[in-house]
A and B are shown apart, each in its own frame.
Chain A
């Protein structure tokens, strides 16, 4: 299981794109792997023949575990033994399987793959010798014990907690397939569970849910959040969008929402205030050169923030197309790892659900996050002390007070506001 990202510790095997006996070229995708962040295709590090699939579809493995074997062919023979357990041409592991009878088969086909049983998996639980002994004495399968220790280790405390909850857990665990208990991601010790009330049910944490929880807690704990709100008159943007929408959607083939307008203004303002496009680096502040804007996308089981790269080089139409592509693929679970890495700033759109005011949590280690709220018609006092009905929108802006202060944050917001209010019939969309 390759390392699929900085904080990724494990992956779940999706679909095998190659089967045992298939010829694979170097860099050719051989399997799909789902991590807590994205689905990725794993390229083959060698050219050769896939001789054994070790990890079945749906199995979750920590980084570094073997997932398959490839017998190298043709290449430098000196490298071959290092790359594969079977040094030369693959030989069938079970001659009784009868595969050899098909004389014309170019590659021998090993016996049908057997999923690893629980007994074999037991050896993979990370724990200490002492905990293993305690579990053995108590007759507990460590596979079923949720781990909280370093690198996914089952600790003494985990075992004690499991034993206390044994009656409930045993009942719940018995019918479940072993795979359900397999993922053991490092996590802070869970809080004491409140007693279940009638009608309560437990939802297992998906890897994504767990990652979101960890990231949110980390952000709130590490970054002193300060939030500012600016009110923007979006009337001209509303009028502009209304006027060009049908033509735009016909021409570009993607819907025209307000997101590209706000993102455009936000990115231009970032060029004006580059210190906002920054990260906290512990003993320094990293002011980012490129502007890679993360767009928070709600998906059925959580939230993901794909990155619109070099957004400062895009027109409103370019942002609309890029955002649409990312959002569509995010909802379809087709993002790749590069789609979600390297963001320098985040734009969030809770307004699409009707929110008019929020206090967003910063996407670490970025310095700031901008939420665009719902555009609502409101009576407001305009020039000449008249009262008019205008399309108003709040911008909610949370920033890491270690990186910047209110003065700059508010100047930045004022710039975004000015740019949005200045949009009109002459604004270049394409």
Chain B
């Protein structure tokens, strides 16, 4: 095994899947010659050619629509949205077409497509390069949504997404690309969609998070440990469908839950986790479930002070955990 970046996991997964399965193609803005703005697809056009690594025009609706057509006709496209912020023009294609075709065609057609999109803030991306859009898609049956927070999960989840028979939204937090390092097992492996990962076990409270926030939650747990607080950290990994068993069994252990997410607080992923716990595990609860999230502001500010105000971080998680334990 070798220690690698999270973006290495993304690249390796695409490389290995394209080598393994000639139906796998990649399309998106600058994914070819440029190798992607984050270098996720570096070297792929040279190896697999322009027919399978396609530089698309600036038009996200077109990229999604073309990918859906490819998928319906037997290919396994990976459509890259250069930034999740630009996914909104493709919303109609994803929600009205990709997510519904299997249902609408009575199982005759299906869309084995992956949409990859770098998301999240804390990188001085300001309002058009910092958005967290996962909640829009969590509302849509027919989609799957995954968010890795380790290099191994990045690779294993992307392979599972490519091999899935239905559309999968694969969100990569930009800040984790080179911040998070970890071992990637050698050889071909997958990480199942729909299974959360216990980052660390604890007994005093459960912190549920994903993406960069799972990384921060682990750091916060180390800090809390110094105060004698044993925090369990659950990386949700898959937001749709949520791993209900993992969430409920963790609450059954700790009886206190904190959901951390970077997206705007209202109607975010945390709402669904909190509702699940309230409905299924009320009599396990020792305190109301808490959410720590980005504020309900229209956009991530650019300047450092305001950006830090917007972003949850390990200190804020520690503080929220303390409050939860005191309530």
Contacts and interface: CB of A to CB of B under 8 A. Distances in A.
Interface of A: 128-133, 150, 155-156
A129 B326 contact: no
Interface residues of B, number: 9
A133 B327 contact: no
Contacts of B284: 129-130, 133
A156 B255 contact: yes
Contacts of A133: 283-284
Contacts of B33: none
A133 B255 CA distance: 12
Interface of B: 255, 282-287, 326-327
Nearest to B326: A150
A129 B285 contact: yes
Interface-centre pick from A130, A132, A155 (highest chain B CB count, 10 A)? A130
A129 B285 CA distance: 6
Nearest to A132: B283
Contacts of A130: 255, 283-286
Contacts of B287: 128
A229 to B, nearest CB: 40
Contacts, number: 22
22 contacts: A128-B255, A128-B285, A128-B286, A128-B287, A129-B282, A129-B283, A129-B284, A129-B285, A130-B255, A130-B283, A130-B284, A130-B285, A130-B286, A131-B286, A132-B283, A133-B283, A133-B284, A150-B326, A150-B327, A155-B286, A156-B255, A156-B286
Contacts of A129: 282-285
Nearest to A133: B283
A195 B284 CA distance: 33
A129 B283 CA distance: 5
A128 B287 CA distance: 6
B282 to A, nearest CB: 5
B233 to A, nearest CB: 21
A129 B280 CA distance: 12
B321 to A, nearest CB: 15
A206 B57 CA distance: 77
Which 4 residue pairs of A and B lie closest in terms of their CB atoms, listed nearest first? A133-B283, A128-B286, A130-B286, A129-B283
A155 B324 CA distance: 13
B197 to A, nearest CB: 25
A287 B255 CA distance: 47
Nearest to A155: B286
A129 B284 CA distance: 7
A366 to B, nearest CB: 28
Given A129-B283, A133-B283, A155-B286, 10 more contacts: A128-B255, A128-B285, A128-B287, A129-B285, A130-B255, A130-B283, A130-B284, A131-B286, A150-B326, A150-B327
A386 to B, nearest CB: 64
A128 to B, nearest CB: 4
A412 B325 CA distance: 46
A150 B287 CA distance: 11
B184 to A, nearest CB: 40
A173 B327 CA distance: 27
A129 B277 CA distance: 12
Nearest to A128: B286
A164 B326 CA distance: 22
Contacts of B326: 150
Contacts of B255: 128, 130, 156
